[in-house]
């Protein structure tokens, strides 16, 4: 009876996970989708707890499970309160915990089965254990490195760290782990098999670190998405080992959604998985000598406000600088003034603006900017030649015209928002440092571009004050 009830709970949880992903396809149903996911996870945990209690019943087992749940809350609650700018690294940490969990469960299951009788280590089960451990521990250390790069920790350099024969060495390390796994499948009863399994664990942990070190911070969002796919696949393998259908389906959903998101991001950058994982993208490139010195043209707040006040068609291009400065509420004030002044105002959203897809959408939704005024890149580019003012707030590489014509540029071929085609461009930037790709932005030197240097929140606030006639500008 209890087993049947648990299986029914798993079916309901699976359906809720599917509905959760479906709900996130649209901003209007996203909150409902999140709720479905939360209910599904709670149902899955409670059902599993009941099944374990019915099978074992000892208080000791219950205390272990309760302790794990308390530990999860102790870590999860603080992680839920990070600022939106830190969501990518928080996501990476979540993947790291998931990878560690599957890796540890796989390791424990291997030695438990080995102790109960070598006949339990069937070829299929052993292969699943090897896949679970490799994917889990690669996800664990890889995600920790990715989180460190995004957080710009001193001991995890954001720039790519390359060394001779790195790709050959990394692939060789992975092939060695897979080869040891194949040996375990073929010869599970040999005296060296336990040592081989532990060697696979060590190789997987090392491979996760060495895989991420050569990748620059610019590619970390895509790497996190790929690692999410690995975590899902490791959960699928764990589901096969534990004969848990919910783990199999939930892992498959997680893995496939991570893969689809990775594909979307790679297409948005016009790059391949292999180029992301092995291209060492993100190294700072020296500007090519042109024989003429290029200079920025700066504009005053008052001058920019006058042009904005006369503009009838304005496109705002948000980027990571807006997120860091927490300027989205001030942007809403600017949006409200321009709309009341009779201007058409739209927001141009690039798929990889910020640190992950949807980053700008979430920020602007938090500022209660109507979703209908958020326009995707392909649609807004057709309008750019007719735009009076393009206001670029903290965006860099996603508006760099070099992506269209400079074959030597690391972002060549990446689809961009064509802000340079607007009649006037105002670019708000904190400093003259390059963006994530480590290259100068040609947009800033354009004839129609004027720079507004400073913190995005301060600059936009001063623009609003100048437009409304308030005093006390910074």
Q: Is the pLDDT of residue 88 over 60?
A: yes
139, 99 in Cβ contact below 8 A?
yes
Helix axis angle, 2-23 relative to 27-55, nearest 10°? 160
The segment with the largest mean pLDDT, out of 59-73, 236-250, 429-443, is 236-250
Q: What is the pLDDT of residue 473?
A: 47
Across 348-361, average pLDDT: 82
Asked whether the predicted pLDDT for residue 471 surpasses 70, the reply is: no
Q: Is 110 helix (H, G, I), strand (E, B) or coil?
A: helix
Residues 6+ apart with CB under 8 A from 35: none
Kindly report the number of other CB atoms within 10 A of residue 373's CB atom: 14
CB 106 within 8 A of CB 179: no
Average pLDDT, the chain: 86
Contacting residues for 98 by C-beta, under 8 A, at least 6 apart: 136, 139, 231, 234, 235
pLDDT > 90 in the chain, percent: 47
pLDDT band at 347 (very low <50, low <70, confident <90, very high): very high
Would you call 337 helix, strand, or coil by DSSP? helix
Nearest in space to 318 (alpha carbons), one of 271, 355, 267, 268: 355
For residues 310 and 64, which has the higher predicted lDDT (pLDDT)? 310
Instruction: Reply yes or no on whether the pLDDT at 288 is more than 80.
Output: no
* 149: confidence class by pLDDT, cuts 50, 70, 90: confident
Instruction: Taking residues 170-186, report their average pLDDT.
Output: 94
The CA distance from 125 to 353, in Å, is 42
pLDDT confidence of residue 283: 47
What is 244-262 written as a DSSP string? -HHHHHHHHHHHHHHHHHH
Q: Active-site residue numbers?
A: 397
CA separation for the pair 225, 232 (Å, rounded) = 11
Structure confidence at residue 294 (pLDDT): 66
pLDDT score, position 284: 44
Rounded average pLDDT over 333-344: 95
The β-bridge partners of 452 are 428
85-110: average pLDDT: 89
Instruction: Let me know: does 138 contact 204? Beta carbons within 8 Å.
Output: yes
The backbone region for 153, taken as left when phi is positive above 0, alpha when psi lies in -120 to 50, beta otherwise, is: beta
Please state which of the ranges 44-48, 213-217, 272-276 shows the lowest mean pLDDT.
Answer: 272-276
Could you give phi then psi for residue 178, rounded to 5 degrees?
-65, -40
Is the separation of the CB atoms in 344 and 313 below 8 Å? yes
User: How many whole angstroms separate alpha carbon 99 and alpha carbon 17?
Assistant: 19
Return the pLDDT at 430.
Answer: 84
Q: How far apart are CA 374 and CA 361, in angstroms?
A: 8
* Among candidate residues 219, 290, 222, the one with its CA nearest the CA of residue 440: 290
pLDDT in the model for residue 373: 93
pLDDT reported for residue 139: 94
Answer with the residue of higher pLDDT: 408 or 185: 185
Which domains can be identified in the chain, with CATH numbers? 1-81 (1.10.287), 85-283 (no CATH), 301-468 (3.40.50.1220)
**Segment 223-263, tens digit of pLDDT:** 888 888 999 999 999 999 988 888 999 999 989 988 888 88
Q: Can you tell me the distance from the alpha carbon of 75 to that of 82, in angstroms, rounded to the nearest whole number? A: 12
Give residue 82's pLDDT.
81
Q: What is the pLDDT of residue 279?
A: 58
Confidence of residue 48 (pLDDT cuts 50, 70, 90): confident
CA distance 212 to 220: 9
pTM: 0.80
203 confidence band (pLDDT: 50, 70, 90)? very high
């Amino acid at each position: 009876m209890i087993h049947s009830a648990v299986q029914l709970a798993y079916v309901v949880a699976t359906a809720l996970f599917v509905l959760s992903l479906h709900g996130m396809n649209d901003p209007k149903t996203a909150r409902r989708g999140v709720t479905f996911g939360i209910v599904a996870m709670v149902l899955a945990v409670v059902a599993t707890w009941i099944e374990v209690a019915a099978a074992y019943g000892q208080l000791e087992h219950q205390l272990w499970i309760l302790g794990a749940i308390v530990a999860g809350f102790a870590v999860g609650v603080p992680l839920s309160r990070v600022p939106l700018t830190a969501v990518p690294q928080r996501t990476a940490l979540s993947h790291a915990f998931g990878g560690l969990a599957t890796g540890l469960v796989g390791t424990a299951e291997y030695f438990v089965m080995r102790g109960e009788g070598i006949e339990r280590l069937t070829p299929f089960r052993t292969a699943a254990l090897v896949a679970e451990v490799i994917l889990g521990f690669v996800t664990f250390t890889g995600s920790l490195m990715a989180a460190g790069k995004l957080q710009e920790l001193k001991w995890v350099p954001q720039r790519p760290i390359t060394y001779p024969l790195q790709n050959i060495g990394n692939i060789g390390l992975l092939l060695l782990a897979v080869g040891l796994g194949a040996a375990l499948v073929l010869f599970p009863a040999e005296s060296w098999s336990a040592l081989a399994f532990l060697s696979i664990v060590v190789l997987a942990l090392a491979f996760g670190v060495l895989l991420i070190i050569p990748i620059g911070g610019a590619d970390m969002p895509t790497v996190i998405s790929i690692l999410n796919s690995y975590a899902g696949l490791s959960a699928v393998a764990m589901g096969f080992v534990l004969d848990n259908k919910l783990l199999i389906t939930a892992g498959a959903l997680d893995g496939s959604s991570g893969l689809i998101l990775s594909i979307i991001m790679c297409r948005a950058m016009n790059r391949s998985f292999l180029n992301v994982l092995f291209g060492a993208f993100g190294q700072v490139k020296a500007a090519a000598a042109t024989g003429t010195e290029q200079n920025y043209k700066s504009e005053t707040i008052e001058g920019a406000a006058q042009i904005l006040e006369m503009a009838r068609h304005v496109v705002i291009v948000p980027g990571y600088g807006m997120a860091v400065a927490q300027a989205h509420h001030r942007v809403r004030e600017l949006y409200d003034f321009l709309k009341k002044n009779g201007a058409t105002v739209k927001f141009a959203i690039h798929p990889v603006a910020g640190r992950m897809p949807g980053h700008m959408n979430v920020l602007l939704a938090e500022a209660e900017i109507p979703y209908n005024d958020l326009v995707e890149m392909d649609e807004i580019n057709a309008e750019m030649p007719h735009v009076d003012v393009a206001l670029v707030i903290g965006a860099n590489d996603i508006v760099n015209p070099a992506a269209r014509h400079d074959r030597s540029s690391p972002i060549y071929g990446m689809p961009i928002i064509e802000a340079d085609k607007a009649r006037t461009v105002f670019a708000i930037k904190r400093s003259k440092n390059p963006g994530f790709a480590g290259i100068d932005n040609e947009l800033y030197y354009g004839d129609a571009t004027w720079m507004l240097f400073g913190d995005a929140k301060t600059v936009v606030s001063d623009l609003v004050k100048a437009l409304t006639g308030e005093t006390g500008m910074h």
